């Protein structure tokens, strides 16, 4: 995703939303066999709600939900208008007595459809047509003569298995259920029911980034008979309750790209800010400097953690996780601007200038809880509620300040997230359930113990999620891992020719070569060598004659 620090992203998001609305017009919906479902939910209103949710996430989402934004696709390279489709999948794949189904949404580009299948896996976001018209998955589809699909994860976007997101319905929101959806989708596309069986003998390649990259890797592990090759960009594989390494990588990225002086300025500002908040006048002064939605209640540990979470660490998380060259140095130029004597004010100047802190920074924990307890799919916080639930029961990955190797002191303890899980979901989720869920996830998928065969992984060295993903020590000859220096999150799924560094561009080319080899069974360059050899034989025969 391009740097969120740019206000241009709002325009881009609006453009994508308009495109989605165009593809989902009233006329198109009337031709859809799921018309009744859309009429029930008042489709145009739902689509507008989804668009508004995406935009509001830019301004209101906590770092916990940093991954809930769909990666921003590049400009279209395809002349085809993607087909929007729906297929019924089981609500509960692991209970034969439960025969309930729901419609799962996908996009399909048949521009290169001939022999194989490439699926761009949707994660915890609403899908849009852009990723079947551009990107590395699009180039892989072209190289392997494949139909290109983009699937939507259950509960996210318009793929809604249940009437709302109440806790009694969220029991069907698990990664293994989502993987089974993908398995059923693959079976459908390879069946006679889809385009008269044109993909019956197809090889299947999956492409995904972030959590969707994790899913792609786990699909190869869980369904090797259905998935032939995988490319995962920035996919974490090891579930972990406390994730202090996230802020450690942010610290490293600031030091390397912004300089030690910038990092020292951040640390000094946070130290002075915490002291300021202990004085009688300090909370009011800090509230004004950081433009909070209401005065900071320094007597509430939960409100203080909310302020540092929403206002401070989230802002740096957005900066680093979605950084492109120049973003971090530009931020540091404000944070170290000595024409402003007060380091806290310098920090506040930068934070309050970011689009995602507008119109104000929420510090009231009670307001956060209230918003996330709304179980309607139309809620602005639906996507964050869903992803938070998954972290509370399967993954953890809580980006705390428990490490001493970061500049944010001890402002966000692990207990803050424990409380969040309990309060968002009405006390039904506790630490014991969280830890059991994490243990189950690592038991099912093996964490980082061994990568499945025919999985290509890319991690950025400045991606805060990289400690939870594989590195070169985990690779083997059928599972290469590329670690790209000073690259952030989900940058390798973008098309060739759209790369921040030469090394990232070379990595994309290498990924395409390995994936093409895994799908076709022909080593990169082998087909060209065979063609040359055939030509030599023909020339030799002609010369002999």
**Low-confidence stretches of the chain (pLDDT beneath 70):** 1-68, 524-545
Predicted confidence (pLDDT) per residue in 449-476, tens digit: 999 999 999 999 999 999 999 999 999 9
On whether both 136 and 14 belong to a single domain, the answer is no
Chain mean position to CA 311: 21
Chain mean position to CA 379: 20
Closest CA to 116 of 186, 63, 170: 186
Tell me if 395 sits within 8 A of 186, measured CB to CB.
no
pLDDT at 68: 61
pLDDT at 534: 44
Tell me if 487 sits within 8 A of 500, measured CB to CB.
yes
Q: Is 368 within a domain?
A: yes
On whether both 253 and 146 belong to a single domain, the answer is no
Beta carbons within 8 Å of 38's beta carbon, 6+ residues apart? 29, 32, 46
Boundary-marking domain end, from 36, 58, 80: 58
Report CA torsion sign: 501, 506, 512, 518.
negative
pLDDT at 71: 85
Boundary-marking domain end, from 396, 422, 439: 439
On whether both 422 and 306 belong to a single domain, the answer is yes
* The two structure tokens encoding residue 294: 């209401």
pLDDT at 540: 39
Q: What is the CATH number of the domain that holds 409?
A: 1.20.120.980
Domain that holds residue 170: 71-238+447-537+541-545
Strands 83-90 and 116-121: unpaired
On whether both 382 and 461 belong to a single domain, the answer is no
Number of independent structural domains in the chain: 3
């Amino acid at each position: 995703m391009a740097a969120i620090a740019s206000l241009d992203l709002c325009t881009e998001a609006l453009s994508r939303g308009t495109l989605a609305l165009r593809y989902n017009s009233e006329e198109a919906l009337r031709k859809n066999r799921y018309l009744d479902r859309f009429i029930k939910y008042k489709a145009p209103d739902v689509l507008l709600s989804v668009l508004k949710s995406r935009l509001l996430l830019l301004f209101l989402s906590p770092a916990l939900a940093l991954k809930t934004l769909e990666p921003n696709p590049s400009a279209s390279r395809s002349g085809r208008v993607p087909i929007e489709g729906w297929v019924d999948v089981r609500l509960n794949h692991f209970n034969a007595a439960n025969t309930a189904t729901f419609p799962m949404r996908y996009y399909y580009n048949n521009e290169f459809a001939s022999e194989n299948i490439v699926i761009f896996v949707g994660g915890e976001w609403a899908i849009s047509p852009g990723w079947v018209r551009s990107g590395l998955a699009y180039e892989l589809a072209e190289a392997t003569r494949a139909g290109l699909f983009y699937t939507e994860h259950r509960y996210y976007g318009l793929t809604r298995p249940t009437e709302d997101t109440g806790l009694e319905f969220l029991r069907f929101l698990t990664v293994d259920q989502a993987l089974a959806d993908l398995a059923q989708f693959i079976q459908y596309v390879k069946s006679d029911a889809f385009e008269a069986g044109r993909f019956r003998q197809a090889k299947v390649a999956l492409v995904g980034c972030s959590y969707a990259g994790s899913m792609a890797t786990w699909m190869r592990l869980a369904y090797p008979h259905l998935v032939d090759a995988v490319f995962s960009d920035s996919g974490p594989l090891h579930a972990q309750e406390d994730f202090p390494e996230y802020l450690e990588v942010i610290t490293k990225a600031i030091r390397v790209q912004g300089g030690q002086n910038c990092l020292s300025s951040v640390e000094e500002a946070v130290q002075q800010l915490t002291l300021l908040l202990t004085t009688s006048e300090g909370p009011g002064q800090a509230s004004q400097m950081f433009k909070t939605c209401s005065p900071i209640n320094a007597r509430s540990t939960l409100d203080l953690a909310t302020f540092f979470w929403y206002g401070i660490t989230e802002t740096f998380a957005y900066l680093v996780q979605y950084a492109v060259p120049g973003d971090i140095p530009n931020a540091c130029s404000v944070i170290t601007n000595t024409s402003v004597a007060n380091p806290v004010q310098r920090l506040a100047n930068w934070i309050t200038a970011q689009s995602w802190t507008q119109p104000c920074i929420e510090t009231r924990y009670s307001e956060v809880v209230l918003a996330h307890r709304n179980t309607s799919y139309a809620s602005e916080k639906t996507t964050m509620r869903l992803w938070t639930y998954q972290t509370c029961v399967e993954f953890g990955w809580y980006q705390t300040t428990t490490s001493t190797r970061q500049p944010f002191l001890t402002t966000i303890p692990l207990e803050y997230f424990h409380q969040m899980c309990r309060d968002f979901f009405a006390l039904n989720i506790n630490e014991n359930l969280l830890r059991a869920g994490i243990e189950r996830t690592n038991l099912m998928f093996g964490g980082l113990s061994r990568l499945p065969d025919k999985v290509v992984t890319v991690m950025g060295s400045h991606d805060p999620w990289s400690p939870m993903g594989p590195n070169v020590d985990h690779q083997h000859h059928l599972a290469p891992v590329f670690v790209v220096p000073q690259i952030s999150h989900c940058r390798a799924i973008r098309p060739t020719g759209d790369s921040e560094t030469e090394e990232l561009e070379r990595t994309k080319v290498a990924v395409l070569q390995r994936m093409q080899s895994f799908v076709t069974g022909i080593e990169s360059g082998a087909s060209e060598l065979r063609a040359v050899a055939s030509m030599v034989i023909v020339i030799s025969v002609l010369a002999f004659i």
